[in-house]
Amino acid sequence: VFRYQCSADSQSAEIAEAFERALQRVKHYARVAPDSDLPRKAPMVFIDDTQVVRERAESLKVIHYYLDEGDVRCVLLANRPLDVAKRNRTVQVYRETVDALDLRLLAAALLGADDSDRSEKVVAAFCL
């Protein structure tokens, strides 16, 4: 998981860097284990608080390219609906109340986690 915490001053280059690091991981998996299922378990970029980015700055516009390519999974966390361009490229989930079990199940599905102890630890760390 490659995380990025948005702020009012977020720059598109900073957001793109998170995606580029994830893409490097995809290439690494393909190189070191071409016959395994590692490429199937693509790295994920987790972008928190997308609503705080100034809309006029268009810093989040860089996300469109990476969403269209589809090589990296992405979770955008926001307290308000995404703009139309992002909604057309994503699945939007709206929840009024969320409990810890719901978050763990969602994280496990997004991460492609299995029932192993290692996967459980990754999911638990993701849900902190």
pLDDT digits (tens, 9 = 90+) for 50-63: 888 876 667 888 98
Distance, CA of 16 to CA of 66 (rounded, Å): 8
Q: What is the pTM of this model?
A: 0.68
Residue 40 has a CB neighbour count (10 Å cut-off) of 8
Distance, CA of 41 to CA of 26 (rounded, Å): 9
Rg of the chain taking only CA atoms, in angstroms: 15
* Dihedral, CA of residue 56, residue 14, residue 90 and residue 123, to nearest 10: -140
Distance, CA of 77 to CA of 60 (rounded, Å): 12
Does residue 39 carry a pLDDT above 60? no
3-state percent breakdown (helix, strand, coil) of the chain, nearest 5: 50, 10, 40
Range name among 41-45, 59-63, 67-71 with the lowest pLDDT average: 41-45
